[in-house]
Amino acid sequence: MIQLPCVTYMSPERIRNENYSYAADIWSLGLTALECATGRYPYDVNGGEADLMLQILEDPSPTPPQHMHSEEFCSFIDACLQKDADARPTCDQKYEGPGVDLAEYNKSVHDPAERLSQIAHMLAVHYYLIFDGGDDQWRHMKSFYGQDSTFSFSGETHVGKSDIFDTLSRIREMLKGNSRCEKIGRVMEKVYCRAHGEEGMSVRVSGSFIMGNEFLVCADGFCAEGMLSIVELSPDILSKQAGHFQEDFFMEPGTAMGCYVISRQELHIGVS
């Protein structure tokens, strides 16, 4: 079976039916990067494949608008889209360049306040769904912590993911009770967040406990997939408030980009 390459990203030499080389992929890389940066494919495709091939062969190579993109990016695209395959840089040569700091780029394209809020709500939802979820998921709670993480509760401080996990397991069993009617569930009411240090963030979650509920509940104005809304609960369940909680999480960047670990955590529980 003969597999025909996609004309849209085919290099000039491949259109001329010359032998394949890695330089053809460099052309495709440049064309793809340019399309991603500008939001549009740089050639006119309305005339069909034959017309598109003529454009690639005969028209000057496309280049990004210099007033909209950095000098480094424009130089990268121009180098990748040279008609002469031998003149294009190799992969190794591209790696020798200054590169891109993905963490800094990620910061530049996201609103910091909005990003903090998103991470805070994701943490709260994920953490409490695991905490109040099934035993098969509970073991994943360890992944939230590092070896130097601390957890403070009831006047005691626990250090390290193993010690913290054991303590959380005891608290979890206490809240589960001995029967369904004794089960204590959470109502998440407020989530606050702010920057902490250079790269970290602090998150405060507060809410109340209710008796006889198996599921994590969102208060009015706070919703997430997989969680009940407070309006879905019967009034008799809501009347069984058993106390309130406030939990502070101090997050630091993990080893992978975009991942965080809980470096410090403080839990406060009040009884009604």
The predicted pLDDT at position 241 comes to 74
Burial of 96 (0-12, 13-18, 19+ CB in 10 A): exposed
The predicted pLDDT at position 181 comes to 63
Structure-model confidence comparison of residues 221 and 172, the more confident one: 172
Q: Is the pLDDT of residue 3 over 60?
A: no
Structure-model confidence comparison of residues 69 and 210, the more confident one: 69
- For residues 182-200, give the mean pLDDT: 81
**pTM for the full model?**
0.57
Spell out the residues 6+ positions from residue 62 whose beta carbon is closer than 8 angstroms to its own: 31, 34, 42, 43, 77, 81
Among 29-33, 83-87, 92-96, 157-161, which is the least confidently predicted range? 92-96
pLDDT tens sequence across 148-181: 999 999 999 999 999 999 999 999 888 876 666 6
Q: Is the pLDDT of residue 46 over 90?
A: no
Considering the domain 108-271 in this protein, what is its CATH number?
3.10.450.50
Q: Is 60 left (phi over 0), alpha (psi -120 to 50) or beta?
A: beta
pLDDT tens sequence across 125-142: 788 888 877 888 898 899
Ordered DSSP codes for 147-166: EEEEEEETTEEEESHHHHHH
Dihedral of the CA atoms 130, 131, 133, 135 (nearest 10)? 90
Among 88-102, 136-150, 202-216, which is the least confidently predicted range? 88-102
The 8-class DSSP code of residue 89 comes to P
Structure-model confidence comparison of residues 22 and 16, the more confident one: 22
Q: Is the pLDDT of residue 215 over 60?
A: no
Task: Say how many Å lie between the first and final Cα of the chain, rounded.
Answer: 74
Structure-model confidence comparison of residues 98 and 243, the more confident one: 243
Give the architecture (CATH level 2) of 7-99: Orthogonal Bundle (1.10)
- For residues 39-62, give the mean pLDDT: 89
The pLDDT mean for the chain works out to: 81
Confidence class for position 213, pLDDT limits 50, 70, 90: low
- For residues 60-68, give the mean pLDDT: 91
Burial of 194 (0-12, 13-18, 19+ CB in 10 A): exposed
Query: Which of 26-35, 65-74, 185-194, 236-245 is predicted most confidently?
Result: 26-35
Backbone torsions φ then ψ of 125, nearest 5 degrees: -65, -50
Confidence class for position 61, pLDDT limits 50, 70, 90: very high
Confidence class for position 259, pLDDT limits 50, 70, 90: confident
Among 1-15, 127-141, 208-222, 245-259, which is the least confidently predicted range? 208-222
Domain spans, the chain: 7-99, 108-271
8 Å CB contact between 67 and 74: no
